[in-house]
Amino acid sequence: MSHDHSFTDDAADEPALTGDAAAGRIARLERRLVREKRARLEAEKFLETRSRELFELNTELRGLTLALEERVLERTAELAGLKEFYERVLDRLPAQLSVLSPSGVYLYTNPAEVSDDALRAWLIGRTDAEYGARTGIPVEGVAARAARIAAVTRDGRSVSYEETIEAGPEHTRYFRRVLAPVSGDDGGVKYLVNAGIEVTGERLAEERLRRSQKMEAIGLLAGGIAHDFNNLLTIVIGVTEALRDATPPSSSHSALFDELLDATGRGAALTRQLLAFSRRASIETQVFDVSEAIRSTENLIRRLLTERIQCVLMLGERLPVRMDRGGLDQLLLNLAANARDAMPTGGQFTVLTCEATLTPEAAEAKGLTAARHLLIEVQDSGVGMPPDVLQRAFEPFFTTKPVGQGSGLGLASVYGIVIQSRGHAEIASVEGEGTTVRILLPLEESIALPAASDTPADVAPRGRGCVLVVDDESGVRMVTTNLLRRLGYDVVEASGGLEALSVAEARRGTIDLLISDVRMPGINGFELATALMAADPSLDVLLMSGYVDDAALRDGIASSGIPLIEKPYRAASLGQQVTKLFEARRAGPARVPTLLREA
Amino acid sequence: MKGMVFTEFLEFVGERFGEDMVDDIIEVSALPSGGAYTSVGIYSHGEMVSLCGALAERTQQPVGELVRDFGVRLSDTFARDFPDFFRRAGNLFDFLESIEAHIHIEVLKLYPDAELPRFVVEERSAARMVLLYTSPRKMGHLSEGLILGSARQFNVEVRVALETLDVDEGMSTRFVVELV
């Protein structure tokens, strides 16, 4: 019992008892002591039980604590691992990612979104308005972002959109983005996730492809026109030369015929430009030093530029390139002519050549595949071009010059020549400051020995033999057969491949030379030549063409070793080619064309 | 019932009627525990009923009055041993309201086997509170004493009216406590 009444204290306060009273008192006190003892024992027993329970609980608790600590350590490690995983993934995510509150406050943003660490840390807790004010994002852009955030928060639906960022002068970046809501437990929008990927590369590639397809289509059209025009010119030249040859030199008509031939020559030059642009010109590539080639054209360029324009050449050493040498001359002269027209009051025309260093990405972006490249940079200090003109500068027939002063084929043919030479051309211009054309071409390892010059004489040599002339264009066939007969050859003719096969069959063994157009309906000239040479290996062949639109056919002819004469041709050229073939026939053993050797 | 209530009761009897009265009521009650109580033990509620009945008979005083007076004294013990409950409440009504909400919860943490009554506040205004006490032990007067004693701890004078109700789970008493 917690109350404590001792016998002594009670005895001191009370009068002394005697007899039964004393005995009763003692018995009462003894019972009280028994109760006290019993209570004490019970308390001790309780305390002992409770102590044991507490000890066991404590032991259990310690075990639980240890297990808990272990679990906490495990979970902490797991969480640290997860944190590290997500941080690593988000830090290296090749996409921009931000998490915002429904009110547009940034809660998280990854390095792809904001690469500057300090700026990224600053952005947390701020809005696009503050970000825009600091980084210079236009107000309209900030307003558009805020409107999207409000719409997604309100509707609870994600939106996809494209965003354009002006990253600098003439440097626009394009992004494809998704702004998506993240719901909380109550179903309302708790966060907004904004993910974006940069599609600038794709956009530029699409633009390049679009332009390339446009140029391809125009090229196809131009090539077709050039082909028909070459046929017409071939007839005009053939007839004119026939008439001139039949006219006494003293006749006043003789000079008119010369004038007519001169005009057809200019027409032929135009079709060459067209074909150069359409990349369908027959070209003879060779490896030569670009700088040396430019130096050899320097006088011509200076004459073209006139004295009021200073010509500066900054040419690197040993820059071998594989291309059509004539194509390079044409390219330079076209650029020089444009530069001259852009500098009516004088200025400076600069040509620079050097080896160009391109990163693989830059090369790929320009559609270049070679390992090394050379740069030809042609610059003038002329009037320059406004952006809308610059954008169309390489298009054929696009010109800003007055009617009659420009064909619109100069830069177009430059473009065609460069592309045909597996290169890349680009143009930059600033109004009032001038224009720069940069041309990148694959750099070759070595330079081949220059081929011996073989300038044809202007006189058509006479000869003998039997020639089969095949052309679906009757006018061309007529002037060609007429010319060959005048030169002394026996001529049979056919208007197409099938007819030619019949004629050859009928006159088996009597035909020495086949002269055939390449591009004909049904059997083309190359197929015809192959068939006839298979039947008669001693047959000589000369193919003629205004242009060959099929690349595989063009390559087939080039690798077969069969000579090709380009339309329109002069009588002298055709005569010399035919003579050369007959002379070779007489001089040596039977010629075996490459395609038959391979067969 | 917690042994503390018994030890405190015997203290109360000893103080008011003398230690012999303590011995007497223990002896006449023929208690299973023999009256050897410890504050940490748990004893049958019937022993308390027997002790109270024996005390009333010996003193010729109504059981209700005795039990109520014991309640008043018990509240002093509570105030002495557990002052935080009173200090935290700040006033009588808050304290009475905290019995069910806080104090009993704390008691159960220490003594999970304690069988505690229920104190539900039915009404409360600035000067009046209606409490419903429910317990199978029918110790309504003890509760009345505790309410009166608690009022004393907060230095307020109250008038307490009791209404005894019979409910399924035992006896219920409705207290209407009014500040005077």
Q: How much is the mean pLDDT over chain B? A: 91
Give the distance from residue A71's alpha carbon to the nearest chain B alpha carbon, in angstroms.
27
**Dihedral angle at the C-alpha atoms of A89, A95, A96, A102, nearest 10 degrees?**
-80
pLDDT: is A5 or B125 the higher one?
B125
Q: Token digits for B151? A: 């009022």
State the maximum Cα–Cα separation within chain A, in Å, rounded to a whole number: 191
A173-210 residue pLDDT tens: 889 999 999 999 988 999 999 999 999 888 888 877 77
pLDDT(B169) > 80 = no
pLDDT: is A392 or A528 the higher one?
A528
B79-123 residue pLDDT tens: 999 999 999 998 999 999 999 888 999 888 877 777 888 899 999
User: What single-letter amino acid sits at A593?
Assistant: P
pLDDT of residue A14: 60
A415-436 residue pLDDT tens: 888 888 889 999 999 989 999 9
pLDDT of residue A7: 43
* Preceding peptide of A568 cis, ω within 30°: yes
Residue B38: which of B2, B3, B78 has the closest Cα?
Answer: B3
CA dist B94 and B153 (Å) reads: 13
b/e code B7-36 from CB counts within 10 Å (16+ = b) = bbbbbbbbeebebebbbbbbeebebebbbb
Residue A222: which of A285, A283, A281, A282 has the closest Cα?
Answer: A281
Chain A interface residues facing chain B, Cβ-Cβ under 8 Å?
1-3, 5, 10, 28, 31-32, 34-39, 42-43, 46-47, 50
pTM: 0.44
A473-514 residue pLDDT tens: 888 898 899 889 888 899 999 999 999 999 999 988 889 999
CA dist A488 and A347 (Å) reads: 56
Identify all chain B residues contacting A30, using CB atoms and an 8 Å cutoff: none
Which whole-number Å values give the CA distances from A440 to A395, A465, A593, in the listed order? 19, 49, 36
Identify all chain A residues contacting B20, using CB atoms and an 8 Å cutoff: 28
Identify all chain A residues contacting B11, using CB atoms and an 8 Å cutoff: 2-3
B7 vs A1, A37, A50: nearest CB? A1
Q: Token digits for B100? A: 């069910």
pLDDT of residue A404: 56
Identify all chain A residues contacting B47, using CB atoms and an 8 Å cutoff: none
CA dist A321 and A286 (Å) reads: 8
B59-84 residue pLDDT tens: 999 999 999 999 999 999 999 999 99
Lowest mean pLDDT among A67-71, A338-342, A348-352: A338-342
B38 vs A5, A31, A39: nearest CB? A39
Identify all chain A residues contacting B10, using CB atoms and an 8 Å cutoff: 1, 3
pLDDT(A365) > 70 = yes
Look at A42 and B14 and tell me if their CB atoms are within 8 Å. Answer: no
Average pLDDT over residues A455-466: 67
pLDDT of residue B149: 96
Phi/psi at A169 (5° precision): -60, 125
Q: How much is the mean pLDDT over chain A? A: 84
Chain A interface mutation, best of B17, B37, B42, B81, highest count of A Cβ atoms under 10 Å: B37
Interaxial angle between packed helices A410-420 and A325-342, expressed in degrees from 0 to 180 and rounded to the nearest 10: 150
Look at A39 and B26 and tell me if their CB atoms are within 8 Å. Answer: no
Q: Token digits for A189? A: 């929008």
Q: Token digits for A286? A: 């060779």
Res. A13 pLDDT band, cuts 50 70 90: low
Helix, coil or strand: residue A296: helix
Q: Token digits for B126? A: 């600035």
pLDDT: is B140 or A404 the higher one?
B140
pLDDT(A452) > 80 = no
The answer to whether the CB of A495 falls within 8 A of the CB of A477 is yes
Look at A42 and B35 and tell me if their CB atoms are within 8 Å. Answer: no
Q: Token digits for A426? A: 């680009």
Look at B41 and A42 and tell me if their CB atoms are within 8 Å. Answer: yes
CA dist B8 and B22 (Å) reads: 12
Chain B interface mutation, best of A3, A14, A37, highest count of B Cβ atoms under 10 Å: A3
Look at B23 and A32 and tell me if their CB atoms are within 8 Å. Answer: yes
Residue A501: Cβ-neighbour burial (10 angstroms; 0-12, 13-18, 19+): middle
**Dihedral angle at the C-alpha atoms of A390, A395, A397, A402, nearest 10 degrees?**
0
CA dist A381 and A158 (Å) reads: 53
pLDDT of residue A406: 61
pLDDT(A453) > 80 = no
Share of chain A above pLDDT 70, in %: 89
Phi-psi domain of A187 (left: phi exceeds 0; alpha: psi -120 through 50; beta: other): left
User: What single-letter amino acid sits at B169?
Assistant: E
Identify all chain B residues contacting A10, using CB atoms and an 8 Å cutoff: 19
- Helix ranges (H only) for chain B are 3-17, 19-29, 45-59, 63-81, 83-89, 92-98, 104-110, 140-153
Q: Token digits for A125? A: 């807790």
Q: Token digits for B37? A: 């109580």
Helix, coil or strand: residue B31: coil
pLDDT: is A468 or A452 the higher one?
A468
CA dist B149 and B169 (Å) reads: 27
The dihedral of CA A340, A342, A346, A351: what is its sign?
Answer: negative
pLDDT of residue A568: 86
Identify all chain B residues contacting A47, using CB atoms and an 8 Å cutoff: 40
pLDDT of residue B150: 96
CA dist A575 and A526 (Å) reads: 21
Give the distance from residue B58's alpha carbon to the nearest chain A alpha carbon, in angstroms.
17
User: What single-letter amino acid sits at A440?
Assistant: L
Residue A518: which of A490, A556, A575 has the closest Cα?
Answer: A556
Find the residue in B nearest to A27 (Cα): B23
pLDDT of residue A276: 67
